[in-house]
Amino acid sequence: MVPITTEASKHSANHSMHFAIKKATIQDALEVAKNIRIEDKMEIEGLGHNLGSLPFSVALSDVAVSFYDRDGAICGVAGICPSGIPKNGIVWMICTPGLTAQPITFVKQAKKWLAKEEENYDILYNYTDIRNTFHHKLLKMLGFKALRMLQPAPLYLPYYEIVKLCA
């Protein structure tokens, strides 16, 4: 796998930490689906989707990436899908429990990836399950704002509408 953005390293007294962000594949989506965080699974299902939709999310994205921990284990997939409105993108991210071990390292690299991708958009947006507090923290660190609480069909569970202005 060839990094599309960067491979970061942060040295500590005990060991070197690496976090790689690479172009996502359908196989990456299937791997994440096998070990998905329960909150991410609930978020997908709350919108009426299932884990089988993850490969389609990768395929439909303008850009999709996978992220890996220092041991090479996949920690998640993310992407930006077209919205049908020029310069507006629907951002998405699904993670494994492995991401919770190094969220700051992930955020540093994700910010670099997003900064590059934001050049193509005026706005990035989506919904996030109100119960997915780990994602809320990551999204806030990545510059996203929760605008309001909505209850989208089909289950009408509470979700935050999140947005990031890119222009």
pLDDT digit string, tens, across residues 48-87: 999 999 999 999 999 999 999 988 999 999 999 999 999 9
Taking Cα atoms as reference points, which of 33, 44, 4, 20 lies closest to residue 126?
Answer: 44
Per-residue pLDDT for 2 more than 90?
no
For domain 3-165, give the CATH number: 3.40.630.30
Task: Count CB neighbours of 3 within 10 A.
Answer: 14
With cut-offs at 50, 70 and 90, classify the pLDDT of residue 16.
very low
112 Cβ contact partners less than 8 Å away, ≥ 6 residues apart: 5, 6
Distance of alpha carbon 8 from alpha carbon 20, whole angstroms: 7
CB 117 within 8 Å of CB 136: no
Section 109-118 average pLDDT = 94
Per-residue pLDDT for 159 more than 90?
yes
Which percentage of the chain shows pLDDT scores above 90?
81
With cut-offs at 50, 70 and 90, classify the pLDDT of residue 18.
low
Per-residue pLDDT for 122 more than 70?
yes
